Amino acid sequence: MLKKTERKVGEFNASSMADITFLLLVFFLVTTTVSTDKGIKFVLPQKADDTTPTKVKGVVNIFLNDDNQVLLGKKGKEEEVSIQQIKNQLTLLDREISAQGDSIIVSIKVTPGSTYKNYVEILDQIKNAKIDRISLAQ
């Protein structure tokens, strides 16, 4: 009969594995770049020394409620519009208010249950309407 020869099992020296793991960890920590979110850029006005009151004739309100419905208009005359209609409505209101000698101010009020995506889309529509005076109401 044939004899089975037993093979010796080699030993694995794992003492240098901790060193290699540590070096790889340090390498990846040093070479990895972390991207940070920039957020929405707003240019805030400089602090004014005089506190002249703003005319309220040129204020246009935009309300975004929990059901993501948008109400746009002057005080007491708000009507429901879609987000895509905001630019055209603001352009018309800007012409109307400019004809009276005032400048338009857009006041945005958002309820906590509305989506952030719709809020950003409203800001984009205001920017596309070339309106730079925006009030963020609470």
Taking only the tens place, the pLDDT of each residue in 89-125 is 888 888 888 887 778 888 888 888 888 898 889 899 8
Is 77 within a domain? Answer: yes
CA atoms within 13 A on the CB side of 113: 5
What's the domain range around 111?
59-137
Give the separation between CA 99 and CA 123, rounded to whole angstroms. 24
Q: Are 135 and 106 in contact (CB under 8 A)?
A: yes
Q: Are 109 and 61 in contact (CB under 8 A)?
A: yes
Is 133 within a domain? Answer: yes
Give the separation between CA 70 and CA 88, rounded to whole angstroms. 14
pTM of the full structure? 0.60
Element (H, E) at 110: strand 105-110
User: DSSP secondary-structure letter at 48?
Assistant: P
Give residue 65's pLDDT. Answer: 87
Is 106 within a domain? Answer: yes
Is 48 within a domain? Answer: no
CATH code, domain with 122: 3.30.420.270
Q: Are 107 and 60 in contact (CB under 8 A)?
A: yes
Taking only the tens place, the pLDDT of each residue in 36-61 is 777 767 666 676 666 666 556 778 88
Is 19 within a domain? Answer: no
Question: 115-118: long-range contacts (C-beta < 8 A, 24 or more apart)?
Answer: 115/68, 118/64, 118/68, 118/70, 118/83
Q: How many domains, the chain?
A: 1
pLDDT bracket for residue 67 (50, 70, 90): confident
